[in-house]
């Protein structure tokens, strides 16, 4: 069994303690970042003349072989491997002999693991960003397809005012746009190299940290070794980011679950994203959306868990920090599922304009009626009150606003004239709202283009 420590111990580690201490089961995922970090570090050791060029080459060749073993699924973990760093160093010793023992000179697993995790996450972020973009593209294509469909806009889940279906869909496109911006912003703080910080106090061997950063593609190096080895802010930021993304997806899922219900029937999910019931033959359930909503809980849990782990830790490295990886991996895995599933649901979603039209409550035009009176000179407050009375009357009659005769309207106010009916259509109501960000056709087309322009950046 290879162990990276133990000289000062005379007794063996308790078997359960060994299991408890090991992180190999999950940190094995860092293998590629660990190899990249080690190759860069071997070069930096040679550059600082701590090892010879020949030794550096030997180390790099050995590490390249290990990379191949991992990528071909041939790398064999040993029962005794404590973590990925131990496993790779053990294998390197087997492949190239004693020179393997020079690789860790001046390095600690503290700066090593912090470097590996940052490198791994930087690579994952490229994929996640693409997934966000894919979902935005799915939204754009559906919003374009259904640009003319007017639906009820809801506040308090009560019909409020007519809106374009594309306007509602695009509202999620903008949330995702902010998610992309936040991702870029947190990347600036993620993109900082801790390697060369040693265990706590820095590197005494003249290691060129800027060289290391350039080799590994980091934009900057950390300024304080004590901070660098225990800083997990970038994980908190990433997990917070992920929790916000999931909340967006969860709200989209919830809207669609409601809209696809029998009572609404505005949309139908493709069979490919639904499942059935083992007992009720008629059931078609929106499990894709329920799981997106449900998995939001675990992502928020990952963030909350890490916040609790970090709270009150004494400064620099404590083994508690090993607990940072599972929530990170879990969240990345979750988003790598929820984002493409959400894209698939949107792309294959069937909208039912006739059902939507049949469910539009004419009272959503009450604001337009008040605006009509305002245009005729009535102060809005009075118009609001008066239309409230008309609404009451319409509810008593069980009639839509457009079915109320002009003579009745005129009993409420002499300001009403025949042209009142011109304004009492849903498309007229929607298309009046052409100020930027509004639901009028020209405004929605404008925001659609605006979003597409930003997405192309
Ligand atoms: N497996 C450890 C982790 O993930 C590596 C760092 C170990 N450092 C130490 N001082 N024991 O945090």
Per-residue pLDDT tens for 116-137?
999 999 999 999 999 999 999 9
Closest alpha carbon to 206 in 43, 40, 45, 39: 45
Q: Indicate the number of domains in the chain.
A: 3
157 within some domain:
no
Q: Please check whether residues 173 and 88 belong to one and the same domain.
A: no
Whole-number pLDDT of residue 16: 95
The Cα diameter of the chain in Å comes to 102
- Cβ-contact 427, 109 below 8 angstroms: no
| CATH code, domain with 70 | 1.10.275.10
For residue range 244-291, list pLDDT tens digits in order.
999 999 999 999 999 999 999 999 999 999 998 888 889 889 999 999
Categorize the per-residue pLDDT at 79 as very low, low, confident or very high, splitting at 50, 70 and 90: confident
Q: Please check whether residues 367 and 342 belong to one and the same domain.
A: no
pTM recorded for the entire structure: 0.96
pLDDT at residue 1 is higher than 80: no
262 within some domain:
yes
204 within some domain:
no
Q: Please check whether residues 10 and 79 belong to one and the same domain.
A: yes
For residue range 282-314, list pLDDT tens digits in order.
988 999 999 999 999 999 999 999 999 999 999
97 within some domain:
yes
Q: Please check whether residues 133 and 277 belong to one and the same domain.
A: yes
Whole-number pLDDT of residue 293: 98
Categorize the per-residue pLDDT at 80 as very low, low, confident or very high, splitting at 50, 70 and 90: confident
Between CA 446 and CA 404 the distance in angstroms is 36
Q: Please check whether residues 127 and 233 belong to one and the same domain.
A: yes
For residue range 306-338, list pLDDT tens digits in order.
999 999 999 999 999 999 999 999 999 999 999
pLDDT at residue 381 is higher than 80: yes
Between CA 220 and CA 14 the distance in angstroms is 41
Closest alpha carbon to 152 in 261, 262, 260, 259: 259
Mean pLDDT of 398-414: 96
Mean pLDDT of the chain: 97
Q: Please check whether residues 133 and 227 belong to one and the same domain.
A: yes
Expressed as residue numbers, the domain containing 312 is 109-148+162-198+222-358
Going from the Cα of 195 to the center of ligand 1, the distance in angstroms, rounded, reads 14
Q: Please check whether residues 285 and 345 belong to one and the same domain.
A: yes
Whole-number pLDDT of residue 6: 85
Q: Which residue, by CA, sits nearest to atom 11 of ligand 1?
A: 319
Which of these is catalytic: 10, 79, 156, 407? 156
Going from the Cα of 113 to the center of ligand 1, the distance in angstroms, rounded, reads 7
Going from the Cα of 189 to the center of ligand 1, the distance in angstroms, rounded, reads 22
Phi, psi at 320, each rounded to 5°: -50, -30
In three-state secondary structure terms, 269 is coil
For residue range 35-66, list pLDDT tens digits in order.
999 999 999 999 999 999 999 999 999 999 99
**Structure token pair of residue 153:** 């806009």
452 within some domain:
no
Q: Please check whether residues 333 and 414 belong to one and the same domain.
A: no
Per the annotation, the verdict on 156 as an active-site residue is yes
The preferred substitution site among 27, 37, 109 for testing ligand 1, maximizing ligand atoms within 8 Å of CB, is 109
Q: Please check whether residues 142 and 181 belong to one and the same domain.
A: yes
DSSP state string for 23-46: -HHHHGGGHHHHHHHHHHHHHHHH
Percent of the chain surpassing pLDDT 70:
100
pLDDT at residue 203 is higher than 90: yes
| CATH code, domain with 140 | 1.20.200.10
Per the annotation, the verdict on 23 as an active-site residue is no
The preferred substitution site among 28, 33, 83 for testing ligand 1, maximizing ligand atoms within 8 Å of CB, is 83
Q: Which residue, by CA, sits nearest to atom 5 of ligand 1?
A: 109
Whole-number pLDDT of residue 304: 98
Rounded to 10 degrees, the C-alpha dihedral 425/426/431/432 comes to 60
**Segment 281-290 long-range contacts (CB within 8 Å, at least 24 positions apart):** 286/253, 286/256, 286/257, 286/260, 288/341, 288/344, 288/345, 289/253, 289/254, 289/256, 289/257, 289/260, 289/345, 290/253, 290/257
Domain end residue (candidates: 316, 339, 358): 358
Percent of the chain surpassing pLDDT 90:
95
Which of these is catalytic: 52, 141, 261, 277? 277
Q: Which residue, by CA, sits nearest to atom 10 of ligand 1?
A: 110
For residue range 160-170, list pLDDT tens digits in order.
999 999 999 99
Categorize the per-residue pLDDT at 445 as very low, low, confident or very high, splitting at 50, 70 and 90: very high
Going from the Cα of 185 to the center of ligand 1, the distance in angstroms, rounded, reads 28
The number of residues in the chain equals 457
DSSP-derived pairing of the beta strands 192-193 and 220-221: parallel
Q: Please check whether residues 81 and 114 belong to one and the same domain.
A: no
Residues with CB under 6 A from ligand 1: 23, 27, 83, 109-110, 113, 317, 321-322
């Amino acid at each position: 069994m290879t162990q990276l420590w133990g000289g000062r111990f005379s007794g063996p580690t308790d078997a359960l303690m060994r299991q408890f201490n090991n992180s190999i089961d999950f940190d094995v995922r860092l293998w590629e970042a660990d190899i990249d970090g080690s190759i860069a570090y071997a070069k930096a050791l040679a550059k600082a003349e701590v090892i010879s060029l020949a030794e550096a080459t030997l180390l790099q060749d050995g590490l390249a072989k290990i990379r191949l073993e991992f990528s071909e699924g041939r790398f064999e973990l040993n029962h005794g491997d404590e973590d990925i760093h131990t496993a790779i160093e053990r294998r390197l010793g087997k492949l190239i002999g004693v020179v393997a023992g020079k690789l860790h000179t001046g390095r600690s697993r503290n700066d090593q693991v912090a470097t590996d995790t940052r490198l791994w996450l930087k690579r994952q972020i490229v994929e996640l960003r693409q997934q966000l973009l894919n979902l935005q593209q799915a939204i754009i294509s559906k919003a374009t397809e259904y640009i003319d469909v007017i639906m009820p806009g809801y506040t308090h889940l009560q019909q409020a005012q007519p809106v374009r279906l594309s306007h509602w869909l695009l509202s999620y496109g903008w949330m995702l746009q902010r998610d992309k911006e936040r991702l870029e912003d947190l990347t600036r703080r993620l993109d900082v190299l801790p390697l060369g910080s040693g265990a706590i106090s820095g590197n005494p061997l003249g290691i060129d940290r800027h060289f290391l950063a350039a080799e590994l593609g980091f934009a900057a190096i950390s300024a304080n070794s004590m901070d660098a080895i225990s800083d997990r802010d970038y994980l908190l930021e990433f997990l917070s980011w992920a929790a916000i993304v999931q909340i967006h997806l969860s709200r989209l899922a919830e809207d669609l679950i409601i809209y696809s219900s029998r009572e609404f029937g505005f949309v139908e999910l493709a069979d490919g994203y639904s499942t059935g019931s083992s007992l009720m033959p008629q059931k078609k359930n929106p499990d894709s959306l329920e799981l997106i909503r449900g998995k939001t809980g675990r992502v928020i849990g990952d963030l909350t868990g890490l916040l609790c782990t970090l709270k009150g830790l004494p400064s620099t490295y404590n083994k508690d920090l090993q607990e940072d990886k599972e929530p990170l991996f879990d969240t990345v895995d979750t988003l790598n599922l929820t984002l493409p599933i959400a894209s698939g649901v949107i792309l294959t979603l069937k909208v039912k304009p006739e059902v939507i039209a049949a469910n539009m409550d004419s009272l959503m035009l009450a604001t337009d009626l008040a605006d009509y009176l305002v245009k005729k000179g009535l102060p809005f407050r009075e118009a609001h009150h008066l239309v409230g009375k008309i609404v009451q009357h319409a509810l008593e009659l069980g009639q839509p606003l457009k079915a109320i005769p002009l003579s009745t309207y005129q009993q409420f106010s002499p300001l009403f004239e025949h042209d009142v009916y011109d304004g009492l259509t849903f498309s007229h109501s929607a298309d009046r709202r052409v100020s930027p960000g509004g639901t009028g056709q020209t405004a929605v087309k404008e925001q659609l283009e605006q979003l597409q322009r930003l997405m192309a950046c």
